[in-house]
Structure 1
Amino acid sequence: MATVITLAQQKGGSGKTTLTTHLACELAARGHKVALIDTDPQGSLGRWFMTRWERETGLKGDITFSTSSAWGVTFESQKLAKDHDYVLIDTPPKIDSDLKPALKAADLVVVPVSASQVDLWATEGVLDLAQREGMRPLAVLNRARGGTKLTGKVLAALDELEADPAKTVIGQRVAYAEAIGVGQGVCEFPGAKAASEEMATLTDEILSHLR
């Protein structure tokens, strides 16, 4: 049976879909069978997948894609888990009862947090809901600018939350957006060495967190 990873955050623009796509590509590049479930009505993950398919870019057939309603995600994840190694669930930017099934289905919840105080405040609601579902998420600082006071403050604040702060920090790099635009992950995208190394390190940390 597959390992299920749910990415959740109530604030839009936190990087849920970005992390989902690049994590999926990194896992696929390592030889794993990966399935994606998009429960976000905006459909950004589906647009990325269609771009990938139409361009025949990256590893052909390495990743499968499905959509689901919030309350159908349990059935969909269980179905995909039968013949995949990892199932990644991308959720909409909101925090309400609709998020509960995606949390319950997960072996690990990953919460991306952009380097801003507003994003940090928004994270508290997600963590509270996850805690009520018996989950302790992994909080990942995303879109951070290295060496800034704000990044340092947000990193320090993550230690005070009901989550395990990831040691890996994902930087504000244009390669993440550029790769998504052509249906790829940074591990496949030419000239994205720094971003690719970051994502590989984060993937290692996520996998070690699951053991």
Structure 2
Amino acid sequence: MRTITFVTQKGGAGKTTLAASIAVAAAASGEKVVALDLDPQGSLWAWGESRAADEPAVDRLTAAQLAKLPAILASLEREGFTLAILDTAGVESTGGNLAMREAALCLIPARPTKLDIQATKPTVEALMRMEMRDRFAFVLNQCPPGRNSRSTEAAQGLSMLGVLATPTMTQRADHQDALASGLGVTEYAPDGKAADEVRALWQWIDRKTKGVPA
């Protein structure tokens, strides 16, 4: 079972929105997906509770359960799950560190601002201490539509710190509307540009974690 962890020590970067939509897109591609909410705020769990669809499976882990994360993931793999999506809190925590250690790939969302890019550095430093240099990538998220210097400069800045996933995610109302409706964006507006970007990002993640050049 592959494990994908969304992590950054900053709130508002879009971890939960991306985790939900990537989980849905992966399930639609044939993966048996479980999305686990490790954030005490429980936003991903609340999204899962509002869904009518059975897939992906969504659950939350308490603080006490986080210490057992490796065993929980092993149990889920025995149950036949092929992909786990972990949504972590926006602060440094033991649970977040465990989630990073267990990941085939850590995704670090960041908005195209100087503050957001600077805020990724503690997460990157933690991953380096864990010797996970080759197991993380940035997702440039909530970018203004169209070509603009802010997104270009942010992409260049993140590329200097590590791998930048493609494509970048544009700020579109479909993302928030989908989350509020208990849907992934590929379910909410399957023919929209936001859905196209999410499917392309999932394909990049899929190739990256299978060792195929992305």
TM-score scaled by structure 2? 0.90
User: Which digits, 9 at most, give the CA deviation of each residue in 1:11-68, with x for residues without a partner?
Assistant: 100011011000000011112110011110000001100111xxx2xxx322112222
Q: What is the CA–CA distance in structure 2 between the aligned matches of 1:46 and 1:16, rounded to whole Å? A: 13
Q: What is the CA–CA distance in structure 2 between the aligned matches of 1:186 and 1:159, rounded to whole Å? A: 27
Deviation at 1:177, TM superposition (A): 0.5
- Report the AA paired with residue 77 of structure 1: L
Structure 1 unmatched ranges of 5 or more: none
User: Which digits, 9 at most, give the CA deviation of each residue in 1:94-148, with x for residues without a partner?
Assistant: 1244422111111111111111111101101101101111213110100011322
Q: Where does 1:27-46 land on structure 2 (aligned, <5 Å)?
A: 27-46=26-45
Deviation at 1:209, TM superposition (A): 0.8
Residue number in structure 2 paired with 1:177: 176
Q: What is the CA–CA distance in structure 2 between the aligned matches of 1:66 and 1:84, rounded to whole Å? A: 13
- Counterpart of 2:175 in 1: which secondary structure? helix
Q: What is the CA–CA distance in structure 1 between the aligned matches of 2:180 and 2:191, rounded to whole Å? A: 14
| Structure 2 counterpart of 1:62, from 55, 64, 68 | 55
Q: What is the CA–CA distance in structure 2 between the aligned matches of 1:99 and 1:191, rounded to whole Å? A: 32
Q: What is the CA–CA distance in structure 2 between the aligned matches of 1:191 and 1:67, rounded to whole Å? A: 27
Residue number in structure 2 paired with 1:24: 23
Structure 2 unmatched ranges of 5 or more: none
Query: Identity over the aligned pairs, expressed in percent?
Result: 28
Q: What is the CA–CA distance in structure 2 between the aligned matches of 1:153 and 1:190, rounded to whole Å? A: 30
- The answer to whether the 8 A contact 2:174-2:189 is kept is no
- The answer to whether the 8 A contact 2:38-2:95 is kept is no
Q: Where does 1:1-211 land on structure 2 (aligned, <5 Å)?
A: 2-52=1-51, 56=52, 60-68=53-61, 69=63, 70-82=66-78, 83-136=80-133, 137-145=136-144, 146-161=146-161, 163-190=162-189, 193-210=192-209, 211=211
Deviates most, 10-19 or 163-172: 163-172
- Report the AA paired with residue 177 of structure 2: E
- Report the AA paired with residue 38 of structure 2: T
Aligned-residue CA RMSD (Å): 1.4
Q: What is the CA–CA distance in structure 1 between the aligned matches of 2:181 and 2:35, rounded to whole Å? A: 18
Q: What is the CA–CA distance in structure 1 between the aligned matches of 2:200 and 2:96, rounded to whole Å? A: 28
